[in-house]
């Protein structure tokens, strides 16, 4: 007799919650992104540590949107030292080390990923983007709130306060779906963040198609005949995207 893996059950339950609760926000965000792409903007994504993995997920992606640019700040990424990256994310002055690398423009969309939404660096990036006129969106769990997980930012504000719209992963505190006594395990934030990201971008493509536009989408380079299409896409966006 087979049994269902409890992690699969937990993910399935959480996916149903996200699907039920986030459709309206996905639609709102997708409509705004589509407008900005049609005006020549791009999508920029930022995250620290594991959240940076989400920022890279949709970049240069077969079946994904072409004008997607992760913000690469190596000192905030795991391969340069996980403990250092974690410490930098919590440093209220750290944005000063890379803010001159940020290039936010009014027609851009900037998506900031942070499960807890409380650390200074993601909040500072969102603030910079919003000041530039870019459309700002977070991917975070709103189960982390000011009452129980107050901001570490000097302003006292959290990420949800810094952006215009929030895509809520609904991931529980501690990022674990399973328990054994006091042990919490089974992280879900990356799966839920990727789910929301792709659901939103797929909706952007559908909106553009319905509007008579050809959505800029990469074809798989492992499929014969895709090279000419992809080269055309790269040439179109290479002035803003670092391919």
Q: For 181-222, what is each residue's pLDDT tens digit?
A: 999 999 999 999 999 999 999 999 999 999 999 999 999 999
In terms of Cβ atoms closer than 10 Å to its own Cβ (0-12, 13-18, 19+), residue 219 is middle
- Please give the C-alpha separations between residue 92 and each of 41, 124, 125, 129, 225, in angstroms, as whole numbers: 29, 8, 11, 17, 49
Q: Is 38 helix (H, G, I), strand (E, B) or coil?
A: helix
Give, for 84, the enclosing helix (H) or strand (E). helix 82-89
Q: What pLDDT does residue 2 have?
A: 61
Tell me what the mean pLDDT of segment 55-83 comes to.
Answer: 97
Domains for the chain: give ranges and CATH numbers: 6-237 (3.40.50.10490)
Taking alpha carbons only, the member of 68, 64, 65, 62 closest to residue 222 is 62
Above 60 in pLDDT, residue 241?
yes
Neighbour count for residue 85 (Cβ, 10 Å): 21
Residues sharing a CB contact under 8 Å with residue 3, sequence separation 6 or more, in sequence order: none
Mean local confidence (pLDDT), 227-232:
97
pLDDT at position 4 is 82
Token pair of 112 as six digits: 């900031």
Instruction: Give the mean pLDDT of 63-87.
Output: 97
What pTM does this model have?
Answer: 0.96
Please write the tens of the pLDDT for every residue from 101-150: 999 999 999 999 999 999 999 999 999 999 999 999 999 999 999 999 99
Q: Identify the H or E element spanning 182.
A: none
For residue range 144-168, what is the model confidence (pLDDT) as tens digits? Answer: 999 999 999 999 999 999 999 999 9
Q: What is the pLDDT of residues 4-53, one digit of tens each?
A: 899 999 999 999 999 999 999 999 999 999 999 999 999 999 999 999 99
User: What is d(CA 71, CA 55) in angstroms, rounded to the nearest whole number?
Assistant: 8
Q: Over the chain, what is the mean pLDDT?
A: 97
Q: What are phi and psi of 66, to 5 degrees?
A: -75, -45
Q: CA nearest 162: which of 93, 201, 110, 106?
A: 110
């Amino acid at each position: 007799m087979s049994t269902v893996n409890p992690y699969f059950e937990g993910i399935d339950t959480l996916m149903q919650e996200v699907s039920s609760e986030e459709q309206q926000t996905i639609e709102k965000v997708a409509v705004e992104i589509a407008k900005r792409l049609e005006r020549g903007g791009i999508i920029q994504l930022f995250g620290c540590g594991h959240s940076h993995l989400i920022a890279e997920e949709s970049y240069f992606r077969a079946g994904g949107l072409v004008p997607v640019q992760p913000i690469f700040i190596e000192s905030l990424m795991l391969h340069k030292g996980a403990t250092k990256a974690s410490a930098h994310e919590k440093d209220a002055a750290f944005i000063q080390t890379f803010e001159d690398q940020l290039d936010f423009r009014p027609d851009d969309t900037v998506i900031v990923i942070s499960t807890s939404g409380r650390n200074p660096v993601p909040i500072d990036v969102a603030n910079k983007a919003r000041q530039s006129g870019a459309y700002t969106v977070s991917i975070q769990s709103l189960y982390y709130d000011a009452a129980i997980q107050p901001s570490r930012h000097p302003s006292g504000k959290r990420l949800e306060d810094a952006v215009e719209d929030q895509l809520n992963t609904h991931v529980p505190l501690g990022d674990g779906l399973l328990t054994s006594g006091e042990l919490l395990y089974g992280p879900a934030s990356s799966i839920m963040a990727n789910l929301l990201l792709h659901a939103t971008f797929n909706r952007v493509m559908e909106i553009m198609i319905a509007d008579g536009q050809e959505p800029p989408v990469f074809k798989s380079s492992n499929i014969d005949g895709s090279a000419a299409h992809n080269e055309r896409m790269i040439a179109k966006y290479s002035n803003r995207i670092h391919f």
